[in-house]
Amino acid sequence: MSRLLIRGGNRLQGEVTIQGAKNSVLPILAATILTGGSVVLRRCPRLRDVEASIRILQALGCKAGWRGDVLEVDTAGMSGCDVPDALMREMRSSVIFLGAILARCGEASLTSPGGCELGPRPIDLHLSGLRALGAEIDDTGGTLHCKAAKLTGREIVLGFPSVGATENLMLAACGAEGVTVLSNAAREPEIEDLQGFLNTCGAEITGAGTSTVVIRGGRPLHGGTYTILPDRIAAATYLCGAASAGGEVFLRDAREEHLSAVTAVLREAGCDVTGGSAGIVCRRTGRLTAPRPIRTAPYPGFPTDAQAILMAALLRCRGAAVFEENLFSSRYRHVDELARMGADIRVSGRTAVVLGVERLHGAAVRCTDLRGGAALCAAALAAEGETAISDITHIDRGYQSIEDDLAALGADIRRVEETASP
């Protein structure tokens, strides 16, 4: 077991380089199955979820290994089409392998995925889209048995711009005959990154980043080399860390065009945020002021993944900051832990109101999920005394080395390994 110990009171100062995007690399790892060859992924973060994806690939007969921060994958020898239950349970995004395996093998067998508990995240859109392409799916008994003698492209209108469904259908459509048009598709930068990787490997896809994605299927794919997009949520975490603790940080490689909803709120609250081709600078000197209500929404709206960390940055603001969570029903699980540190937060349904307090204090808190853990780190930077954060395996699912990055910015933070009592 590990804990993070953070002693607050230090203003952040300095520079860190933003890691590759977790939400890009996971669908790209699934996409390597379609290439049937050797792929080199640069700026690939070493995360628990990435390692889980590697184990899935290996269970399917593929090869994968690290060379520094470069991940090399060879799917030429893929020999299976079913993913073991234990591996599926490690992360929710494991369902992204369904479309790729089905497109390559004509069949796939997966159990229901696991991962962070953020409330219901049904995969109905994934399954209905695959059925529209010609797949036969038996989803009784907790296992998805999928078969498709032939996938055929067609127009699919998503009932909601789901990121996972958009990615899964893009992968399946690469193996379909003809043209697939995804309408009301998710517009996240990670969708564009998946398109970039697939096109590098010989696919013909256009429209990613808009609500209409067009995939011309049936093209033979091949291996290639690709550099993963910088992680916009990791960048948002360090921006909010600077907003919480004060100081000035430079986030190398962060792209403000992918974070404009977050940087706009930080500016309104009193931060000086400047974006350029090299990265983003965030400076906070005086006390923050509550901005207008923050409502999470699909991209390019305010990202649900940044809701908790922005809330942590505003715990000591002047006035009342209002949050409305519109995507996941259990995205306020961090609130009770922040309250242990002296935060004053009132939750009613999908709305949370943060009443700014004069000071926070260190406490023993528990990481409830990935983004809640990042929020606890941001809050601890501004707290008096020491905060001990347990259950940090959640944090390791999305951050390559959050303690190293924060320490490089001047935070008093360290990881403590503990042995469980017999």
Feature table: binding site for phosphoenolpyruvate = 22-23
CB of 227 closer than 8 Å to CB of 243: no
What are the Cα distances from residue 353, in Å, to 335, 339, 343? 11, 12, 11
Among residues 116, 146, 271, 377, the one annotated as catalytic is: 116
State the DSSP H helix or E strand holding residue 200, giving kind and residue range, or none if neither. helix 189-200
What are the Cα distances from residue 58, in Å, to 33, 203, 225? 11, 24, 20
Q: 83-111: b or e for each residue (b if 16 or more CB lie within 10 Å)?
A: beeebbebbbbbbbbbbbbbbbbbbbbbb
State the DSSP H helix or E strand holding residue 142, giving kind and residue range, or none if neither. none
Cα–Cα distance, 30 to 25 (Å, whole number): 9
User: Would you list which residues are annotated within the binding site?
Assistant: 22-23, 92, 121-125, 305, 327
Any idea what the Cα angle at residue 215 is, between residues 108 and 296, rounded to 5°?
Answer: 85
- Known active-site residue 116: yes
User: Would you list which residues are annotated within the binding site for UDP-N-acetyl-alpha-D-glucosamine?
Assistant: 92, 121-125, 305, 327
Residues annotated as catalytic are 116
